[in-house]
Chains A and B, each alone.
Chain A
Amino acid sequence: MSADGGMAVETTGLTKRFGRVQAVTDVDLRVAEGDRYGFLGPNGSGKTTTVRMLLGLVLPTSGLVRVLGGRVPGDAARVLPQVGAMVEGPAAIGHLSGRANLRLLDAAVPTPGGRRTRRRRVEDALEALGLAQVGRRPVRAYSLGMRQRLGIASALVRRPRLLVLDEPTNGLDPQGIALVTDLLLQLSAQGTTLLVSSHLLSEVEHLCTRVGVMDRGHLVVQDDVDALRAPTGRLLVTLAGGAPGTAATLLGRRLLEPPDGDRLVAADDGDVVGDLVRGGLAVREAVVERRTLTDVVLARTTAVGEAGAAR
C-alpha cells in the first residue's frame, strides 16, 4: 500500500461461489492510485472472476468492492466511466470496421463533449495503437494482433483513470508488445493506474511495480515487486581456478551447498569473495541471488501444468 493518494481498487473479503464451485475466497485486493499492478496466477485461479466482480459483471456472493472511491455495483454508473477494461480478450462486431465499432460503443453511453470530441477521442485511441490507417476493413478481416490492439484502443477511448487489462499482449508480435508496453508505461507516467493480468511473468516483472498472485481462489501474495525481488541472502559464486574442495574450509558454515564443479552457493555474510581469493581460489563471478517473479509464483501456487509452462 502506497501512502500517497487513495485506493484505485479495494476489495474486502471478496467471495464468489458459482453453485458449489468456490471461485474466489476472501480476497482483499489493494491497488493504490498510480500503481502498476500485476495480477498473476494460473488458469482457473479466480483472476478473471475477480476482475469481473471489479467491473460489476459478476455479482459477489459476499464481500465489498470499491473502485475509485465508489461501490461496485452500487455506484457503477458513476465509477465505471473512469475505468477502461479489456476482459478475456477483445470483442467487436465482425462486419464493421474497428473505427465503427469504437464509435458505436462510445455512443452507447453519452459522455460530456459533443460528437466531434467523441470522434477525436476515438481517432486518438486508434492512433495510439497504430490502427488509424486500417480504414474500412471489417474487424472480421483483422489479424489476432490487430484485434488485440483494437481491444486496448477501446479501453483507452475515454482516457480512464484506471485501466484493467487481461493479457494485454496476447497474440501481439514483438513490435506490438513493445508498442503496448511503451504505451502502458507512458499512461502510467501520466497518472493512469494499471491493473494488468498476464501469464508472461517476465513481462509483468518488467512492467509492474506491485503484484498480486491468486491461487485456487485465494490471494496468496500481494507485495511490491522490489520487495519480492529483494536479495535472498545467498551468493552464487563461480570459480575460475584453484581447488573447489578448499572452499568448505575457507568459508566454514557460510558454504550453504557443496561445490558443484566450479560453482558454489554461499551465505552473503561478510567478505566471502575476499576470503576465497585470500585462500588461493580465483573467482570469476559472484552474484547476489534474487528471486524472479517466476520463482515467487511457482513457489506460492499449487496448480501444475499451465503454471509450470511459464518457467
Chain B
Amino acid sequence: MKLAALTWVELRKLALRPRTWVSVALLCALPVVVAAFLATSELAPRPGQGPAFLSAVLGNGQLYPAAALGIVVPIFLPVAVCVVAGDAVAGEAQAGTLRYLLVRPVGRTRLLVAKLFAVLAFTFGAVIAVALVSFVAGTQLLGTRPDALGTTTASLSGTSLSPQELLVRTLLVMAYVSVSMLGVAALALLLSTLVDSPLVAALGGLALLVASTVLVGLDAASAVHDLLPTRYWLAWVDLFRDPILWTDVQRGVLVQLAWAGVLLAAAWASFTTRDVTS
C-alpha cells in the first residue's frame, strides 16, 4: 500500500518531466528515419551487415517493430535507460529533494524499490512506444506485402507465421528487449545511490555496456562471454525462428537476472546504510 503510493508518485514525477518524453520521442524517431531511408531506396543491407533482420523487413512492414527494437537495443535504449536509472537517486540528491523525501519519512528500501519500478516502467514504456511507432512507420512506409499465401509472414526459418503468431512473437521480443536492459539499469541505479551526480551514475552504466560489448567481441575473453550482459542482447532474433530457439533467450534472461540481482542487492546494502549528506 505504502509502496504503491510511492511508486505512483515516482511514476508521476517521471511523467511530469519533459526530458522523459523527449528521450522517448528520440528513441522512436530513429526507426522512423531508418524506415524512411529503406522505403525510398529499397536497398536492404547486405546479408551479414547492418542491423539484423532488416532485409526481411523490406518484404513486410509488420515485421518492422521487432527490427526497430533491434536498431535501438545496442546503444539508444540503454543510453536512455541509464540516464533515467542514473538520475533516480543521484538526481534527487543533487536537487536536494532526497533529504526531504527521506525525512517524510520514506523508508530507504521502499524508495529504492519504487525507483526501480519507475525505471522498469520507463524501459517497458519506451519499448512499447518504439514498437507502436515503428509498426505505423513500417506498415505505412514499407507496406504490407503478403507472400504467396496472402496473409502470412515468413519466419527466419522459412515457414509461415500467422498474424496472431507474429503479434505474440513481437510481444515476446518487447519483453526480452526490456529484460535485456536490467543489467545496465541496475548498475546505473547502484551508482546512483553511491554518488550525488546523475551524470556519473548514467555514464557508469554505459561504461558497463561499452566494456561488455568490447569483451564480447574479444575472442581472448571467451571464457567470460556467457556472463556478459550484452552477450545475448541480439538473441531476440531467435524468437522469429520456427520453432522458437529458446536456448540463448533463456540464457540472456538468466544473465540479466543475475546481474540485476547482485547489483540491486549492493544498491540496497549501500543506500540503507549510507549517510545522506546531500
Contact = CB atoms under 8 A, between A and B. Distances in A.
B102 A104 contact: no
Interface stretch (A1-9, A84-92, A169-177, A253-261): A84-92
Interface string B15-41: 011100000000000000000000000
A107 interface: yes
B103 A80 contact: yes
B105 A52 contact: no
Contacts of A154: 100
B277 interface: yes
A57 interface: yes
B114 to A, nearest CB: 9
Contacts of B12: 104
Interface string A53-65: 0011111000000
Contacts of A87: 99, 103
A96 interface: yes
B243 interface: no
B103 A89 contact: no
Interface string B161-187: 000000000000000000000000000
Given A92-B97, A94-B95, A110-B1, A80 B104 contact: yes
Interface residues on A, range: 20 to 34
Contacts of B97: 91-93
Interface in B37-87: none
A26 to B, nearest CB: 19
A7 B1 CA distance: 32
Given A57-B99, A95-B17, A110-B1, A104 B9 contact: yes
A8 B6 CA distance: 28
Nearest to B97: A91
B96 A89 contact: yes
A54 to B, nearest CB: 10
Contacts of A76: 105
Contacts of A90: 96
A307 B218 CA distance: 61
A107 B13 CA distance: 12
B95 A107 contact: no
A298 interface: no
B247 interface: no
Interface string A17-59: 0100000000000000000000000000000000010011111
A18 B104 CA distance: 25
B277 A58 contact: yes
Contacts of B101: 105, 108
A138 to B, nearest CB: 11
A81 interface: yes
A87 B103 CA distance: 10
Main secondary structure of the interface of A (DSSP, over half): loop
Contacts of A55: 99, 102-103
B276 A93 contact: no
Nearest to A78: B105
Nearest to A18: B275
Contacts of B273: 59
Interface string A103-116: 01101111000000
B125 interface: no
A299 interface: no
Contacts of B104: 80-81, 105, 108-109
A83 interface: yes
B275 A108 contact: no
A309 interface: no
Given A59-B273, A110-B2, A104 B99 contact: no
Interface in A169-220: none
A164 to B, nearest CB: 9
Nearest to A80: B105
B106 interface: yes
Nearest to B93: A91
Nearest to A96: B16
Interface of B: 1-2, 5-6, 8-9, 12-13, 16-18, 95-97, 99-107, 273, 275-277
Interface of A: 18, 52, 55-59, 76-77, 80-81, 83, 85, 87-96, 100, 104-105, 107-110, 154
